[in-house]
Structure 1
Amino acid sequence: MVQLKHSVLTPEIFAHLTQSVGWEVPPRQQIEEALSHSLLTVCALDDGKPVGMARLCGDGYLSYFLEDVAILPECQGKGIGKRIIKDIIEFIKKREHTGWKVRLELISANGKEKFYEKFGFEQLPCEEDGSGMFLTIEK
């Protein structure tokens, strides 16, 4: 049975899951810093084995960023990602005050946009907003 756990994501689990979906694995120290500065980390464990993860970043009041949603390829399509996203949305709702509006943003992996649309995410540009953009900075 898959359980979701907060604050148990380690650099080793992060690297393993990142590599499993074909993403470049950052240096260990960079992962450690990223995890320690995340507002929330969620790890999906199947009988103790890590099978999925996500991080929530942002200022915690106006803007949130969903980062590093990764599910082992052999575990995709089993509802694990859906449970993680719902867990993160509930976490945000519990933090916010009545009448407040916040924005949860992400950059989808190619081909995964439809997954996020099921939760109400909109692709950019849309009627209200222009194109999503990013800048990669490397030293």
Structure 2
Amino acid sequence: MALEWTESLDGIDWEELSALYRIALGDKPAAELAIVFANSRYRCLVREHGRIVGVGRALADGIDTSYLCDIAVLPDYQGSGLGKQIVARLVALSQGHKKILLYAVPGKEPFYRKFGFRRMATAMALFENQPLARERGYLDDPEDA
């Protein structure tokens, strides 16, 4: 597997990236991806033969917090170690921050535990669609039922 790694957004086909997310993680419109990636301090895009096969990003303030998000790998590349490499790179880029955060797709927590991530007792969230977030397993607070 001859992979090309970049942090640059030059030449990104946002529709292609949107298709990767639709397959691997969920619907993320191309125009929105262009905004969130541009606003992310750290980015990791992986291509093979020019095709985007894996991606991740981190929002970070340079001192206190880095938040890893939108880590996705095409199904044909899952299990190859590519996802681990993307997370490892984002964690390395985030070194020096007092805390590195993420929230995982329900059921994927064991993958992130390998990097030292642990469940927070006080993490909370406001989702645009709280009932959908509950349905997908992101919320379990009985107060929100």
TM-score normalised by structure 2 residue count = 0.78
What is the DSSP-based 3-state SS (H/G/I as helix, E as strand, rest coil) of the residue aligned with 2:56?
A: strand
1:3 correspondence with 2:10: no
Unmatched runs of 5 consecutive residues or more in structure 2: 130-145
What's the CA shift for 1:46?
A: 1.8
Number of aligned residue pairs: give it: 126
Relative to structure 1, the CA distance from residue 56 to residue 22 in structure 2 (aligned partners, 3 Å threshold; closer, same or farther) is closer
What is the DSSP-based 3-state SS (H/G/I as helix, E as strand, rest coil) of the residue aligned with 2:94?
A: helix
**Which of 66, 70, 74 lines up with 1:72 in the alignment?**
74
1:135 correspondence with 2:126: yes
Unmatched runs of 5 consecutive residues or more in structure 1: none
Aligned match of 1:63 = 65
**Which of 16, 20, 31 lines up with 1:17 in the alignment?**
20
Question: What do residues 28-80 of structure 1 show as CA deviations (whole Å, max 9, x unaligned)?
Answer: 33222211111011111122221110011031210111010000112101000
Question: What do residues 72-122 of structure 1 show as CA deviations (whole Å, max 9, x unaligned)?
Answer: 1121010001111111122122xx3xxxx5111111012111110000000
Aligned match of 1:39 = 41
Percentage identity across paired residues of the two chains: 27
Distance in 2, matches of 1:105 and 1:54, equals 13
8 Å contact 2:60–2:94 — kept in the other structure? Answer: no
Aligned match of 2:107 = 111
Distance in 2, matches of 1:6 and 1:92, equals 13
Letter in structure 2 aligned against 1:114: P
Aligned match of 2:89 = 87
CA-based RMSD of the aligned residues comes to 1.8
TM-score normalised by structure 1 residue count = 0.81
8 Å contact 1:7–1:40 — kept in the other structure? Answer: no
Relative to structure 1, the CA distance from residue 3 to residue 33 in structure 2 (aligned partners, 3 Å threshold; closer, same or farther) is same
